[in-house]
A and B are shown apart, each in its own frame.
Chain A
């Protein structure tokens, strides 16, 4: 009896689950269902167009379209209903709370800075991209003028740093290097994936700098990249980037002190990465040798923070030169003192 009822029960259970799950499965909308129309601007219009390649690299793609647009059914758009939008805080509640305490709150919503279909993590975007969020409201010229009231080389700082390097509560900053390409007209911009691909000539773009592709960039590899005449249109440009981006946009007291960056010593700034653009437009960080940019004279010719990146060898040479200048006063002065009587005798004569 028991032997016969057991399989029967299992079959009944399976049927029950299938019956319940089938309608749900029919209701579930896959990302690909949405992107079938939303990847095409001609079908949905520019405003609702979503770049599938970019979207696919975001964490939001993993969550799925319907998680945020819950009201969308397979009747969309024929049902005429406006799709619902999730509240960012539903998932990002901690960031929401932090942001609510910042002076940005009330001036900009999450979407004013972040397009959820494009947003990537802080280390997967370039420093230049980070600043795009800020430039929407804070015009470059305005910011240069405002910072120039107190900051030396304001234009250089604004051009070479992500705003969030200072305007964040992140304690640690690292040095991130990006590949810059010089165009025929002399413009220098972040190299695109296509440009680097062409430069690599069939090899991976990582091999342009990480020659042995061990996901670690040694000092020697950094130097080789800069000295390789094949790469003469490419250069590395260093930026100080925060390890953690916070949404309170506080400017910590230590950021007002120039020597926070412009002094050697702090361990954080011995850490550096090369950030390489990927085919999908995101960036991949590859660790560089500790202290690499600090001592490599040719490592990053366009990157110099006096102090932190100074060469120790030059310091020694400089000291020797200055000591050389003291040879005359000390050496001659000693002999002068010892022979002072000779001159007194001559005076008397």
Chain B
């Protein structure tokens, strides 16, 4: 009989943070779509409630983002280790991982990256998350904060190019994050079973085969 080992991959604060973000970001996408296209989308009963919910969810995700940055950057000081690709990652790792996703996965080979609590992300994930967490998220949050405080921050709004430019940037950044979400959710199903990577984000524990480390998380 095959025994399975369990690795505690996702600590409780990380899981709470992840699902709060997930809930917040989905709310932002739905309400944001209604705010931009009110004549086509009316999931919420009124435009006003869409705005209020969007602003609230935006604030929640911005606070959650700040907590993440504060914790990993200043408390745990592991932001560089977890999120910044190493020289080896850039030279070989990304290519190796891309080869797996685009070719060897279909041939039934194993994932070349084995996630551990200290080395959660594969080289491609590191690059993707770095772009998401250091570029897209801060920019979408900052443009959102400016847009919810146009009157008090008027000078700043004009300094960055005016409302139209700000709205355009906020919209395109949001579309990029939305595009990432599809890829993110899909990649989460690429484990041994479709739920293999999703479960640890809920329970914290990942089941791994004997003699093997944990797989990556998406």
Contacts and interface: CB of A to CB of B under 8 A. Distances in A.
Nearest to A325: B179
Contact of A263 (B39, B172, B185, B190): B39
Contact of B162 (A151, A188, A301, A322): A301
Given A152-B51, A257-B46, A328-B183, A304 B163 contact: yes
Interface string A228-245: 000000010000000000
Nearest to B185: A329
A97 interface: no
A300 B161 CA distance: 11
B187 A328 contact: yes
A342 B183 contact: no
Interface size class of A (residues with CB under 8 A): 35 or more
Contact of A342 (B107, B155, B179): B107
A307 B36 contact: yes
Contact of A257 (B47, B154, B186, B187): B47
Contacts of A332: 101, 186
Contacts of B51: 152, 258
A343 interface: yes
B164 A304 contact: yes
B108 interface: yes
Contacts of A306: 35-36, 167
A45 interface: no
Contacts of A155: 151-152
A211 interface: no
B181 A297 contact: no
Nearest to A303: B163
Given A153-B150, A156-B151, A336-B106, A322 B163 contact: no
B162 A342 contact: no
A259 interface: yes
Contacts of B152: 155
Contact of B39 (A264, A297, A322): A264
A186 B155 contact: yes
Contact of B48 (A150, A310, A336): A150
Contacts of B176: 321
Interface string B158-180: 10011111011001101110111
B122 to A, nearest CB: 15
A314 B168 contact: yes
A343 B48 contact: no
Given A156-B151, A329-B182, A329-B185, 12 more contacts: A153-B151, A258-B48, A301-B158, A302-B162, A303-B164, A304-B163, A317-B175, A321-B176, A328-B183, A339-B106, A343-B108, A345-B108
10 contacts: A156-B150, A262-B35, A263-B38, A301-B164, A302-B162, A303-B164, A317-B175, A325-B180, A333-B186, A336-B106
Interface of B: 35-39, 46-48, 51-52, 55, 101, 105-109, 148, 150-152, 154-155, 158, 161-165, 167-168, 171-172, 174-176, 178-183, 185-187, 190
